[in-house]
Structure 1
Amino acid sequence: MEKIQWWQKAVVYQIYPRSFQDSNGDGVGDIPGIIERLPYLKDLGVQVIWLSPIYQSPNDDNGYDISDYREVLPEFGTMADVQKMLEVAHHLGLKIMMDLVVNHTSDEHQWFQESRKNKDNPYRNYYIWRDPVDGHEPNNWLSDFGGSAWEFDNNTQQYYLHLFSKKQPDLNWDNPDLRKNIYDTMKWWLDQGVDGFRMDVINLISKPSDLPNDPNVTLENHGSSMDFVANGPNIHEYLQEMNQEVLSKHDIITVGETPGVSTSDAMKYAGFDSHELQMIFQFEHTEIDNSPEGLGKWSDERFKLVDLKRILSKWQNDLYGKAWNSLYWNNHDRPRVVSRFGNDSDEYRILSAKMLAATLHFMQGTPYIYQGEEIGMTNIDLPSIKDYQDIDTLNAYNDLVVQQKRVTADKMMSYVHHSSRDNARTPMQWDNIKNAGFTDSHPWLSVNPNYQTINVADALTDQQSIFHFYQKLIALRQELPIITTGKYEVLDLEDASVYAYKRIDKNTQLLVISNFTDQKQTRHYDRTQSAQLVISNYSDDQGDVLRPYESKVYMF
């Protein structure tokens, strides 16, 4: 690895603006609310804030359906508010990374409104239109939100492609005019002062030539053609062009969300000499509890630690010295980590949240913290499907329970409680006052009732809180170069209860030991007499004895 770049030592905090802080009493988080809370993030110690989309949008998919890339959704504020947020953030030494959603737009975007008018419109080729085949869809591709990935448009008697909601038509990146338009928009945002881009499903932008049928899915198995479409024929050409035209001209942070990638794919996207992106988000470890019945993420399976270790170790080892990892447990699309990989009971929530934090933050890569993770926010069990807002959740319930009758309503609610994206989207829990200090009025999505005991105000006053543990982990990343540069080595890969690994550089070793169970374990790992305890989630060290969810890190 060449000279260490600033983004390799950074820790990123993801804000889901709709759920972070409401400043004007309309029940929806906004940009002035974010500004108000920036000192809190400075106190936590993070260096970069990733904002989920704040652009103009009809909100079919909560802002990931953009109708104008250069306007702010009025619910969130104005461009003047954005300018103030950038100014305050930069004054505090914080960088702002925007969410760039350019695989698709909203069907209300002016480009699509023009595109659907007639086949000769100059914007027609900004999207992917095809004639029917034998009176049906052009191929068998399935949307990631359920059903066909094609929607028939009566006006021109053709289908348009949408890998997500039918209100999110896919852009045609083979059109150079479209690409130029997107690069111009990126330049415009960089001129406003933003410090980088997180790129939504960026490896889907180049579709397989001739749009062949996907051999892997049928409508019955609630599949998605996302992985089949991923990593298309011109993807690297387009990202290298983007890098040359825009990214290489600025000292910014870039990360691409890339479903369906292998480690060899990652080296092409984020290799140190690939001239594309700095890192990617892979999904492999977030899919280990997927349904054994072919229902994708709709399951209530408990993950197996050996699977988790095998996947994370592969990514650590394969990318070492060649490309850069991103490290994350959860985000706006994934359930809460302490409920999923830890134990969210009153007895073990704090211990297991700290254990999970330490396990991830001592790996090589740039860590991402999702809002509320640093106080141990949990999944929510809303009583009825009517209480959910997420289009993906509602579509899946309709497909699997109502239409196909493959899953009972009760069983599906168990899956929803485990896997719904709304688990991550409940409002941030700031204090124990009404609505957790998020809003004075009715919140857009229910606040988790446990805000009385899980909130920022309590965490800040308790030196043993999860918040203060994260604060220490973030500080250690700045203090110990080995966390950035050391080689990773997993110990006892087949151990189903304990995750132990080393980080090794020329003069130093770190030994990270995490008990993933609520049972006492005894393990012996070789370490020298001079080994120092760097951090632990218990107040004393009992050597080879590991108490429930104990995590400890030694340096020697």
Structure 2
Amino acid sequence: MNNVKWWKDAVVYQIYPKSFQDSNGDGIGDLQGIIRRLDYIKALGADVIWLSPIYDSPNADNGYDIRDYYSIHADYGKMEDFDRLLEEIHLRGMRLIMDLVVNHTSDEHKWFQESRKGKDNPYWDYYIWREAKDGHEPNNWSSWFGGSAWEKDSATGLYYLHIFHRKQPDLNWDNPSVRAEIYKMMEWWLKKGVDGFRMDVINLISKPEQMPDGINGDLSPFCINGPKVHQYLKEMNRQVTAHFDIMTVGECPGLTVETAKKYAGFDRKELNMVFQFEHTGLTDGIYGKWTNQSPYLPDLKAVFQKWQIQMKEEAWNCLFWGNHDQPRAVSKFGCDLPEYRDLSAKMLCICLYFMQGTPYIYQGEELGMANAGFFDIGQYRDIESLNAYHSFVDAGTLDKRTMLDYLAHVSRDNARTPMQWENNAGAGFTQGTPWISVGANWRAVNAKRELSDPDSVYYFYQKVLQLRKGNPIVQQGDFRLLRPDDEDLFAYTRNYGKEGYLVLCNFSDRELSISDLHVNIGRLIIGNYSGPVNHHVLHAYESAVYTILI
């Protein structure tokens, strides 16, 4: 565990604590529940656990609005529970990374409460305040959660910036005292023993001094990759992260390959890696993320090809299909119909995890958990989804049926339904009433059933992760895309020296001919179909990895 590049060979398992495992019957997941399930995660093959926020919070945005960085939310337990969790993770040879949410705080944070007292208060400049413009908001920027990005404060008569919810005021990173407080907090957690941070929307932290109107209210050109963001991340590295053997990964919306290299280049001294969302955003359209469309496979392949080839030797990729903000992978990229769900879940596993980068598995993905199956707005809890529904429907832009269909496809709540552990009403997640309804397919998809079935999605993930471990072809091999324009086949090779793999994935329910790939196919390494090997045809949602003869 002393290798400074340990994160390159790691497998990360993301836990959304509120929905993972309830231990006390209140319908909300907690830290003691996570402890109960550590052996399950370890057996899968993960060696890093990423916890979504567990800090004290009013939960306006499910914990991403932090009231106290040094306290555990009462729903999840106490600091003693966290200390025990960390100890149990380390005893199993695993590591823990925390969510670092420092673009904004809750408006109930002490800093903001003090800031509202006026310009004479030492915390005044901890946030981004502006005067009204012609009696209205300082500019036309729109919040990413709907409405204006500015909220008028009744105490001061001034406006504060919030890119997200109005209860999430943005911090002023230009204030050295803010940065000092954040670095102090990070060091506190690292000295406690955590092994790194996933940094929430970290490329938004630097805002411009001048804030002109955006085109149609879009603040993105001004706030994404802001003027001093690299200066601040280098300072963070210099003062904190470089002094610990840890893993840092930044969530960075709106990245290109070139900007990603600035954050995560091996010689940049900023972050180890970054999440980019180009592949998850391929379905975005006239209503932003709200759509029922599936990705067009040639576009999806082109995105992966670009990131695999252009990041090689210069920076490190994150490999993920989903997370707490995305719909379920098998529903968006595969097929969640019962006859194809397990096959396509296994296919997606092969497709992604034989690429170069660090795998991230979102809880339940290893079971083939699908979208929630909600059909009524009353079932939703996500503030972004609720705001979007009322914004589009109340304005008459979309009718209720269409918007509910869009939510069913892409709402964040699709990923936030309880983890499906068992075949019972609470899905083994809780003995009480869950804070959000259990997903519709809990009878067919649950850990208890899959752990008793050697052909399950869970054990398939386990095998693929074992094949990756320490594998130089996967870690260092060259990537070459085959048949880039094929609308059904995702095929690529990985070559390292005189060894290589051919990875074949059928993204359709049709048989595909693969006889014209012009690759010397060797032995089968792994596949999601049993029976005789056919080197000429791929069945519906079939995936296979072969050695290639070089």
Indicate whether the TM-score tops 0.5. Answer: yes
Report the TM-score range of the alignment, normalised by the length of the smaller protein: over 0.9
Q: Which residue of 2 aligns with 1:255?
A: 249
- How far did residue 383 of structure 1 move? 2.4
Looking at structure 1, the residues matched to 152 and 158 of structure 2 have their Cα atoms a distance apart, in angstroms, of 6
Are the counterparts in 1 of residues 375 and 408 from structure 2 also a CA contact under 8 Å? no
Looking at structure 1, the residues matched to 470 and 191 of structure 2 have their Cα atoms a distance apart, in angstroms, of 33
Equivalent residues in 2 for 1:327-406 (5 A)?
327-402=319-394, 404-406=395-397
Q: Which residue of 2 aligns with 1:119?
A: 119
Q: Which residue of 1 aligns with 2:463?
A: 472
The 10-residue stretch of structure 1 (474-483 or 438-447) with the greater mean CA deviation from structure 2? 474-483
Are the counterparts in 1 of residues 65 and 105 from structure 2 also a CA contact under 8 Å? yes
Q: Which residue of 2 aligns with 1:221?
A: none
Looking at structure 1, the residues matched to 422 and 378 of structure 2 have their Cα atoms a distance apart, in angstroms, of 27
Q: In the alignment, does 2:297 pair up with 1:305?
A: yes
Q: Which residue of 1 aligns with 2:134?
A: 134
The 1:25–1:11 alpha-carbon spacing in structure 2 relative to 1, beyond 3 Å, is same
Q: Which residue of 1 aligns with 2:476?
A: 485
Looking at structure 2, the residues matched to 145 and 401 of structure 1 have their Cα atoms a distance apart, in angstroms, of 15
- How far did residue 135 of structure 1 move? 1.0
Looking at structure 1, the residues matched to 445 and 246 of structure 2 have their Cα atoms a distance apart, in angstroms, of 35
1:102-142 Cα deviation digits (max 9, x unpaired): 00000000000000111221101000000011111111111
Equivalent residues in 2 for 1:25-104 (5 A)?
25-104=25-104
Q: Secondary structure at the match of 2:469?
A: helix
- Number of equivalent positions: 544
Gapped runs of 5+ residues in structure 2?
none
Are the counterparts in 1 of residues 420 and 446 from structure 2 also a CA contact under 8 Å? yes
1:426 corresponds, among 408, 417, 420, to 417
Q: Secondary structure at the match of 1:367?
A: strand
1:337-382 Cα deviation digits (max 9, x unpaired): 1011100011000000000110000011101000000000010122
Q: Secondary structure at the match of 2:159?
A: strand
1:492-527 Cα deviation digits (max 9, x unpaired): 111111011111111211111101000001022233
2:541 corresponds, among 521, 524, 549, to 549
Looking at structure 1, the residues matched to 263 and 107 of structure 2 have their Cα atoms a distance apart, in angstroms, of 29
Q: In the alignment, does 2:312 pair up with 1:320?
A: yes
2:491 corresponds, among 496, 500, 524, to 500
- How far did residue 4 of structure 1 move? 7.9
Q: Secondary structure at the match of 1:69?
A: strand
- How far did residue 225 of structure 1 move? 2.7
Are the counterparts in 1 of residues 211 and 222 from structure 2 also a CA contact under 8 Å? no
Are the counterparts in 2 of residues 227 and 259 from structure 1 also a CA contact under 8 Å? no
Q: In the alignment, does 2:268 pair up with 1:274?
A: yes
Are the counterparts in 2 of residues 226 and 259 from structure 1 also a CA contact under 8 Å? no
Q: In the alignment, does 2:435 pair up with 1:440?
A: no
Are the counterparts in 1 of residues 54 and 63 from structure 2 also a CA contact under 8 Å? yes
- How far did residue 449 of structure 1 move? 3.1
Looking at structure 2, the residues matched to 459 and 384 of structure 1 have their Cα atoms a distance apart, in angstroms, of 30
Looking at structure 1, the residues matched to 379 and 546 of structure 2 have their Cα atoms a distance apart, in angstroms, of 46
- How far did residue 208 of structure 1 move? 2.4
Question: Sequence identity of aligned pairs in percent?
Answer: 54
The 1:26–1:227 alpha-carbon spacing in structure 2 relative to 1, beyond 3 Å, is farther
Looking at structure 1, the residues matched to 518 and 453 of structure 2 have their Cα atoms a distance apart, in angstroms, of 34
1:243 corresponds, among 218, 237, 247, to 237
Q: In the alignment, does 2:267 pair up with 1:287?
A: no
- How far did residue 227 of structure 1 move? 5.4
Are the counterparts in 2 of residues 503 and 509 from structure 1 also a CA contact under 8 Å? yes
Q: Which amino acid aligns with 2:432?
A: S
Q: Which residue of 1 aligns with 2:17?
A: 17
Equivalent residues in 2 for 1:445-456 (5 A)?
445-456=436-447
Are the counterparts in 2 of residues 143 and 226 from structure 1 also a CA contact under 8 Å? no
Q: Which residue of 2 aligns with 1:175?
A: 175
1:313-334 Cα deviation digits (max 9, x unpaired): 1111110100000010000000
1:124-172 Cα deviation digits (max 9, x unpaired): 1000000011111111111110111000112211100000000000000
Looking at structure 1, the residues matched to 469 and 219 of structure 2 have their Cα atoms a distance apart, in angstroms, of 41
Looking at structure 2, the residues matched to 452 and 299 of structure 1 have their Cα atoms a distance apart, in angstroms, of 28
Q: Which residue of 1 aligns with 2:163?
A: 163
- How far did residue 396 of structure 1 move? 0.2
The 10-residue stretch of structure 1 (476-485 or 334-343) with the greater mean CA deviation from structure 2? 476-485
Are the counterparts in 1 of residues 316 and 357 from structure 2 also a CA contact under 8 Å? yes
Looking at structure 2, the residues matched to 82 and 69 of structure 1 have their Cα atoms a distance apart, in angstroms, of 14
Looking at structure 2, the residues matched to 33 and 494 of structure 1 have their Cα atoms a distance apart, in angstroms, of 46
The 1:417–1:284 alpha-carbon spacing in structure 2 relative to 1, beyond 3 Å, is same
Q: Secondary structure at the match of 1:436?
A: coil
Looking at structure 2, the residues matched to 483 and 489 of structure 1 have their Cα atoms a distance apart, in angstroms, of 13
The 10-residue stretch of structure 1 (109-118 or 475-484) with the greater mean CA deviation from structure 2? 475-484
Q: Which amino acid aligns with 1:330?
A: G
Looking at structure 2, the residues matched to 487 and 189 of structure 1 have their Cα atoms a distance apart, in angstroms, of 38
Looking at structure 2, the residues matched to 479 and 248 of structure 1 have their Cα atoms a distance apart, in angstroms, of 25
Are the counterparts in 1 of residues 4 and 245 from structure 2 also a CA contact under 8 Å? no
Q: What's the TM-score once normalised by structure 2's chain length?
A: 0.97
Q: Secondary structure at the match of 1:137?
A: coil
The 10-residue stretch of structure 1 (421-430 or 145-154) with the greater mean CA deviation from structure 2? 145-154
- How far did residue 487 of structure 1 move? 1.3
Gapped runs of 5+ residues in structure 1?
219-223
Equivalent residues in 2 for 1:410-421 (5 A)?
410-421=401-412
1:81-107 Cα deviation digits (max 9, x unpaired): 000001000001110010000000000
1:375-415 Cα deviation digits (max 9, x unpaired): 0001012221111000000000111001x210000000000
Looking at structure 2, the residues matched to 226 and 445 of structure 1 have their Cα atoms a distance apart, in angstroms, of 32
Looking at structure 1, the residues matched to 223 and 277 of structure 2 have their Cα atoms a distance apart, in angstroms, of 15
Runs of 4+ in 1 over 4 A off after TM superposition: none
Q: Which amino acid aligns with 2:252?
A: T
Equivalent residues in 2 for 1:529-540 (5 A)?
531-540=522-531
Are the counterparts in 2 of residues 119 and 156 from structure 1 also a CA contact under 8 Å? no
Q: Which residue of 1 aligns with 2:226?
A: 232
Looking at structure 1, the residues matched to 319 and 56 of structure 2 have their Cα atoms a distance apart, in angstroms, of 30
Q: Which amino acid aligns with 1:177?
A: S
- How far did residue 302 of structure 1 move? 1.7
- How far did residue 228 of structure 1 move? 4.2
Q: Which amino acid aligns with 2:25?
A: G
Q: Secondary structure at the match of 1:451?
A: coil
Looking at structure 2, the residues matched to 241 and 207 of structure 1 have their Cα atoms a distance apart, in angstroms, of 17
